[in-house]
Amino acid sequence: MDFSGAVQWWDEWQLRVLVLGSLFVQCMLFFSSYVRRRALSSLPKLFIWLAYLGGDALAIYALATLFNRHRQKEQLAAGLEVLWAPVLLIHLGGQHMMTAYSIEDNELWTRHGITAVSQVVVAIYVFCKSWSGSGGEKRLLQSGILLFVVGIIRSIQKPLALKTASINTMIATYSTSTRKKQSISLCWKAMCGCSWDWYFTRSKTREETQEKDIPLEEFVQEAIKNLPELATDQKQAENLAWDQSLKVNAYRSLVDISAPYSSRIKSLKLSLALDYQHANSLSAAMLNEMFFLLYTKLPTIFSSYICFSLVCLPFLTLASVILFSTNHIYHDYNTTDVKVTYILFWCTALLDFISVFLGPSIVLIGSTKKVPQYNLLSFCARKKRPTVLMKLATLVFYKDYVNVHCYIEHAAKPSLLQVTELVHGYVRDGWKGYIHNDASYRKFNSRRGQWALRHQHHLGWSLKMPFDRSILLWHIATDLCFHHQGTTAHGQEFATRSRVISNYMAYLLSLHPEMLMPGSRIGTFTVACEDVELVLGSKYALDTERGLAHGILFWVQQFSLLDDARAIGSLVPKACKLAKGLMDLREVERWEVVQAVWVEMLCYSAGRCRGYLHAKNMSEVMELLTHVWFLLSFMGMETFADRFQKPEPSENMEEEEEEEEEEGEDDGESRVPENKINIFV
């Protein structure tokens, strides 16, 4: 085929290629929306991102091409091409389960609204100008009108959903004193039964009630006075905990708005009656609802005023397909156009039905429950013996980037529930045994390992440094203790749980330092790895984690360089010093201390991460830190906004609290023996 022949072929097939390409991208987005919450590598994420960006562009370009082709009258075959305009509007509306790829997309709702209006005008213009109107095409006209109804509604739903999920809209909604009572939409109950009653709600009435806040001291005393035991019927307790005040306070935390203590009392009492399994279940359900609000159309399309249209849209699409199929004058049209139209209609109808009736359930099934893991010693080992991928990345100066981003492992599924169990026990016992006034409440929320080391004063120095540095110090020490030959099978259970949290915190430090703590430094991992290489030189095996750990431990035994860190930096020598202090403890006590420190550090980090960052990260995976963040808020702990908006306790109360702690430490026991906090399982 010569150049002129290629140009002629493209002129004939251009519109067909564009509409089929648009359909392919929509199918790709449809399937991608059900795997986006899995732990995907960088390459699949790149393709999903490109499909999200290209979906709108391809539909707009196809509509523009259709507009140009129909500015002048064409052959009768144009009758079928004009039916593709409403289908392209449906494509422009995107998929129900992927309205936004990232949280920043929600802020572009104005642009999407203008685009939708302009493209609807173009599509209607093309349809009205090009339709021949002959009597034999009456069914095609009816089919086109039905598709236009679907296309216009679908194209408008997207900017509405984006506006609802924008940060400014959420702040305006949840910063007011307006409370909404919600009930389940009857049509959704009929469609999906009661299994989704916890999620799809509609606004029924509005009550203008002013929320009266109470002081922190009153909140604490009210909570302590009514501390419940674990409920006998956990399922009923979970259903009671799922109320409107919980949702409102959760959304407030998402946009860093401090919730009144008066509205948190009920949720706190109900949360303390739940065991860790049902608390984790409730947390997961609420986080899923947050995800649906931020990144899908579901909160918009399942509202009462368009619930009827929701049910009708797939059937309208199906009706248009049937009308087109019953038209028998195909001999007047191009055979290829007929086939393309069939493909467009049937695939669009199928995607609509699956998205509406099965979409939410499939998304929840596809979400991952694994805990990301990253390890400094593995990072160092790969630098010494690089993989093939790292060798290729070295050619383009991306070796360290690949080493960090392409070798993330994931702990087994029970790990998430196990960590939730530790956090739940820690907070519950804190309410029972430590918190007794507003000063102790603030003190408890500021723990990052001090309580776990209250009897090991010789290790307290490890917490008196910047938080990111302390994380890395304990991460190295945990690995050194884990690979120590003296670890028995009994201590392995504690060690495994401790290491899961340790590797997860290292993952946050290396990939999401902004979530770990505001001001966390990027590149800390690389500096620490260089320190390890300087410590060991080239004399020891650096190609495995265990080899590195044994080499460092041997170095500690052979050389007394812990007080001289000028040559190699202080991090690794101090980590060795900490590991040595931990190894002097009995095995069970050692791992209890390590586990307790990591639980406190995890809670400390979760409480100091902005709600916006949790919302931003929900687009890819539901982080363990986000689970802990919601669980802490649900159980009455301080949120990020509370630390800045709520008044500080009086100095006298803080001094009394410190005196009580010192007395407890001098006695070698906690403030009240029977209320000793137990975070070990």
What tokens appear for 313 in the block? 């849209």
- Detail the DSSP E strand segments found in 185-224: 201-208
- Model confidence at 111, pLDDT cuts 50, 70, 90, reads very high
Quick check: is 661 in a domain?
no
In DSSP terms, which residues pair with 411 in a beta bridge?
371
**pLDDT for 668:** 45
Q: Is residue 198 part of a domain?
A: no
Q: Which residues have C-beta within 8 Å of that of residue 101, sequence separation ≥ 6?
A: 48, 49, 52, 53, 295, 619
Is residue 253 a part of any domain in this protein? no
362 and 373 belong to one structural domain? no
Are residues 367 and 622 in contact, defined by beta-carbon separation less than 8 angstroms? Answer: yes
* 142: pLDDT strictly greater than 90: no
pLDDT of residue 108: 93
Q: Are residues 376 and 311 in the same domain?
A: no
**Whether residue 165 is found in the same domain as residue 123:** yes
Under the banding of pLDDT at 50, 70 and 90, the label for residue 412 is: confident
Phi and psi (nearest 5°) for 102? -135, 165
235 domain residue, yes or no: no
- CA torsion 12→17→19→21, rounded to 10°? -170
Least confident interval from 183-187, 232-236, 634-638, 646-650? 183-187
Same structural domain, 127 and 16: yes
pLDDT of residue 379: 78
Output helix, strand, coil percentages for the chain, rounded to the nearest 5.
Answer: 70, 5, 30
User: Quick one: pLDDT at residue 106?
Assistant: 93
Q: Which pLDDT score is estimated for 400?
A: 63
Which residues span the domain enclosing 35? 3-169+303-366
Domain boundary among 586, 601, 619: 586
Contact call for residues 350 and 478 (beta carbons, < 8 A)? no
Q: Does the structure show a pLDDT above 50 at 135?
A: no
Q: Which residue has the tokens 């929306």?
A: 33
325 and 472 both lie in a single domain: no
Residue finishing a domain among 312, 341, 366: 366
The per-residue pLDDT for 304 is 44
Indicate whether 180 belongs to any domain. no
The answer to whether the beta carbons of residues 301 and 153 sit under 8 Å apart is no
- pLDDT of amino acid 331: 59
With a cut of 50, say whether residue 600 has pLDDT above it. yes
pLDDT in tens, 559-592: 554 444 444 567 888 888 899 899 889 888 999 9
Give whichever of 256-270, 388-402, 453-467, 643-657 has the largest mean pLDDT: 453-467
The answer on pLDDT for 208 being more than 70 is no
Does 113 share its domain with 147? Answer: yes
Is 648 inside a domain boundary? no
Domain boundary pick from 586, 606, 636: 586
Q: Are residues 380 and 351 in the same domain?
A: no
Give CA separation, 79 vs 92, 138, 139, 324, 588, in Å.
21, 11, 12, 12, 79
Read off the amino acid at residue 37.
Answer: R
Identify the pLDDT of residue 398: 63
Rounded average pLDDT over 633-660? 69
Please answer whether residues 33 and 98 qualify as being in contact, where contact means their C-beta atoms are separated by less than 8 angstroms.
Answer: yes
- The one-character DSSP state at 367 is S
Please state the rounded mean pLDDT for residues 265-270.
82
Instruction: State yes or no: pLDDT of 169 exceeds 60.
Output: yes
pLDDT exceeding 90 applies to what percent of the chain? 23
Residue at 643 is within a domain: no
For residues 318 and 407, state if they share a domain.
no
Q: What is the mean pLDDT of the chain?
A: 77
Q: Are residues 349 and 488 in the same domain?
A: no
Helices (H) and strands (E) in the chain, counts: 33, 4
Q: Residues 416-421: what's their mean pLDDT?
A: 90
Instruction: Check residue 91 and give its pLDDT.
Output: 92
pLDDT, residue 390, reads 62
Is 108 in contact with 162 (CB distance < 8 Å)?
Answer: yes
| Rounded Cα gap, residues 454 and 450, in angstroms | 6
Are 57 and 159 part of one and the same domain? yes
How confident is the model over 280-303, as pLDDT tens digits? 888 888 888 888 889 988 776 555
Does the pLDDT of residue 654 top 80, yes or no? Answer: no
pLDDT at 209: 41
| Residues 470, 335 within the same domain | no
User: Is 362 in the same domain as 472?
Assistant: no
> Over 50: is that where the pLDDT of 452 sits?
yes
In eight-state DSSP terms, residue 342 is H
Instruction: Indicate the pTM of the whole model.
Output: 0.83
Six-digit token string for 245: 């005040």
Predicted pLDDT of residue 564 = 46
Residue 178 confidence class, pLDDT cut points 50, 70, 90: very low
* Domain assignment present for 668: no
Number of domains into which the chain is organized: 2
Strands (E), 395-434: 409-411
Return d(Cα 293, Cα 284) in angstroms, integer. 14
pLDDT number for residue 210? 47
User: Rounded mean pLDDT of 170-184?
Assistant: 59
Residue 194 one-letter amino acid: C
Quote the pLDDT of residue 51: 93
